[in-house]
Amino acid sequence: GAGVSQSPSNKVTEKGKDVELRCDPISGHTALYWYRQSLGQGLEFLIYFQGNSAPDKSGLPSDRFSAERTGGSVSTLTIQRTQQEDSAVYLCASSLGRLGKTQYFGPGTRLLVL
């Protein structure tokens, strides 16, 4: 596709359940980022993938959060045993990596944990 796509666009789940959020970056972009945006807040960095390098996981808030990127393209952010405070918009972005720093964002997944 022409831009970054994310699915689902909205997710409602019950506390304690696991959720998976998907990100399809722009074709050819080697860098992929996940951010969390709580209501009325800025973007909180979660994790960054660059090519085959080890990801920068320094922003993951707890061990309930994990992410993987298969084949250098699609990425999945997994939240285990969701808590109400996990409710937020999860944004994915991609960039050309070392060839370009500009990040292009997807529309986000709105997660609500009841």
Partner 1 sequence: GQQLNQSPQSMFIQEGEDVSMNCTSSSIFNTWLWYKQDPGEGPVLLIALYKAGELTSNGRLTAQFGITRKDSFLNISASIPSDVGIYFCAGQLGTGGFKTIFGAGTRLFVKA
- Which residues would be at the binding site for partner 1 (CB under 8 A)? 4, 31, 33, 35, 41-45, 48, 50, 56, 58, 91, 93, 95, 97, 101-108
Pick 50 or 73: Cβ nearer partner 1: 50
Token pair in block for residue 95:
């960039």
Burial (CB count <10 Å: 0-12, 13-18, 19+), residue 42? exposed
SS3 for 72? helix
Token pair in block for residue 75:
């990425």
Pick 38 or 83: Cβ nearer partner 1: 38
Closest distance of CB 16 from partner 1, Å: 28
Closest distance of CB 51 from partner 1, Å: 11
Q: Specify whether the CB–CB gap between 15 and 64 falls below 8 A.
A: no
Closest distance of CB 24 from partner 1, Å: 13
Token pair in block for residue 52:
């085959």
